[in-house]
Amino acid sequence: MKTTAGIVVGFVLSLMLAFAMLAPAGAQGERELHAVNINYEGNNVWTPGTYVVRKGEKVRFKLFNRVKADPNVHGFAIDEFNVKVDVYRDKPETVEFTADKAGIFRIWCHLHPAHLAGQLVVLEK
Amino acid sequence: MRTVRPRGRCRRAVLGGLAALLAVSAHAGAQTPEGRHVYERHCAVCHGPKGDGNGEAAARLTTKPADLTAGRYKFRSTPSGALPTDEDLLRTVTRGVRGTAMVPQTHLSQAERQLVVGYLKRLSPRFAEPVPPAVEVPPAPAITPDLLARGARVYRASGCPECHGDGGKGDGPSARKGMKDARDLPIVPADLTRQPLKRGSAPEETWKSIALGLDGTPMPSYADALDPADIWALVLFLESLVPQERRHPEDRLLPGEEVLGDQIERQHREGR
Ligand SMILES: [Cu+2]
């Protein structure tokens, strides 16, 4: 049972990861990404954990909180781009910013800093 | 497995307890109509005849009455997501939820309150699930400047200021954006610089709120993120933020929703 759930979660995660990695830039210099907050074996985490964009791109994150357990809200924050969104359960949010600097930036839950962090990788070009 | 043989006084106490337990459960079984009667007379005006929180007075209240059919309780001594114990329910019925219209139900006898607790558990199918044992609150440490400094660090590092604000007044950035509970109703983070809090003024109760979370609200459980001693440091740091003039006695109704709740319950009781 647990194994099946693990396989399903793993499959969904790899799909999402593939989607995030391969997501083509829409209009020139724009990139849309999806982040889903889930609880994986007791850990709250935005998934996929790593996103890759190019410097100068306008990034649009669609955010989904799918954690069934309380609390009913989790945070999505990237300090370097002034991103800080409270995402309520089953209330998708969208946030946009321009990735105007290259580097590896932490994505974290500002409401519950103990939750697992991910990262945004901004390539120089 | 080892059999424990109670002896002497201890054995009498166990047998006495057992007899009382049997009496209580037999009583609860036989007297459920009475539990319902108490509920209808004292609770339904706000919580509604079915317990869904849509009683006739609900529209007048800022803090909406709990939906008792969801089986999701804020004030538990059990882990997040679990059902409350009977003692938890009895405590909330007896002492109320401070600052709201859910006033202490001390006009009911202890027996009536126990009956109504039995009835509350029939309002949600969740109560078919087992209730885990209460989490034990460790004894409070001595207050020292070091402990308070540690509490202040834990407060910042745990993200508390996002909702409760830098000074604990409930005015953090998320609060200013407007927050929602699991029913999509507006909810404000507690102002931690005044007492009583919803759960009262006892530090042990604040310890439980932080460790176990308030289910159905944005307030999470920190049981996995913080160790029990850090939670105590945090609780005692929060205590240090409450000035004397903002410590209100627990045994008097607060102006506003508590007085309104008292009026509603009284009128309803006398009008029936
Ligand atoms: Cu979170």
- pLDDT, position B265: 84
From A86, which residue of chain B is nearest by alpha-carbon distance?
B174
> CB–CB of A111 and B80 under 8 A?
no
Spatial contact of A32 and A60, defined as CB atoms under 8 Å apart: yes
Question: Hey, where are the domains in chain A?
Answer: 2-123
How far is residue B248 from each of residues B34, B170, B196, measured CA to CA in Å?
35, 18, 6
Query: pLDDT category, A102, cuts 50, 70, 90?
Result: very high
The count of other CB atoms within 10 Å of the CB of residue A61 is 22
- pLDDT, position B31: 47
- pLDDT, position B266: 85
Amino acid at the residue B132: P
- B180 part of contact set with chain A, CB < 8 Å: yes
- A82 part of contact set with chain B, CB < 8 Å: no
The residue with greater pLDDT, A83 or A7, is: A83
Least CB–CB distance from B213: residue in A71, A86, A114: A71
Tell me the per-residue pLDDT of A81-94, one tens digit each, with 9 for 90 and over: 999 999 999 999 99
For A:15-74, CB contacts with B below 8 A are: 42, 69-73
How far is residue B40 from each of residues B37, B223, B260, B263, measured CA to CA in Å?
5, 37, 19, 17
- pLDDT, position B9: 42
Q: Please write down the long-range contacts of B242-245, taking CB distance under 8 Å and 24 or more positions apart.
A: B242/B192, B242/B193, B242/B194, B242/B195, B243/B193
ipTM of the complex: 0.80
Tell which of A40, A68, A85, A86 to mutate to test the B interface (max B CBs under 10 Å).
A86
**What are the chain A neighbours of B225 within 8 Å (beta carbons)?**
112, 114
Distance CA(A59)–CA(A96), nearest Å, equals 6
In CATH, which of 3.40.50.300, 3.20.20.80, 2.60.40.420, 1.10.760.10 is domain A2-123?
2.60.40.420
How far is residue A20 from each of residues A27, A50, A80, A116, measured CA to CA in Å?
16, 8, 21, 18
Q: Which is it for the CA torsion B68, B28, B198, B106, positive or negative? A: positive
- pLDDT, position A25: 53
Tell which of A111, A115, A116 to mutate to test the B interface (max B CBs under 10 Å).
A111
- A110 part of contact set with chain B, CB < 8 Å: yes
- pLDDT, position B194: 96
Distance CA(A60)–CA(A30), nearest Å, equals 8
Q: Which is it for the CA torsion B242, B245, B250, B256, positive or negative? A: negative
> CB–CB of B220 and A113 under 8 A?
no
Structural domains in chain B, sorted by start = 23-134+261-269 (1.10.760.10), 145-241 (1.10.760.10)
Distance CA(A117)–CA(A107), nearest Å, equals 6
Tell me the pLDDT of chain B (272 aa) as tens digits: 333 333 444 444 444 444 444 344 444 444 467 999 999 999 999 999 999 999 999 999 999 999 999 999 999 999 999 999 999 999 999 999 999 999 999 999 999 999 999 999 999 999 999 999 999 999 999 999 999 999 999 999 999 999 999 999 999 999 999 999 999 999 999 999 999 999 999 999 999 999 999 999 999 999 999 999 999 999 999 999 999 999 998 888 988 889 999 999 888 878 76
- pLDDT, position B124: 96
Spatial contact of B78 and B72, defined as CB atoms under 8 Å apart: no
> CB–CB of B159 and A71 under 8 A?
no
Query: pLDDT category, A28, cuts 50, 70, 90?
Result: confident
What string of DSSP letters covers chain A?
-HHHHHHHHHHHHHHHHHHHHHPPPSSTTEEEEEEEEEEETTEEEEESSEEEEETTPEEEEEEEE---SSPSEEEEEEGGGTEEEEEEBT--EEEEEE--S-EEEEEB-SS-TTSBPEEEEEE--
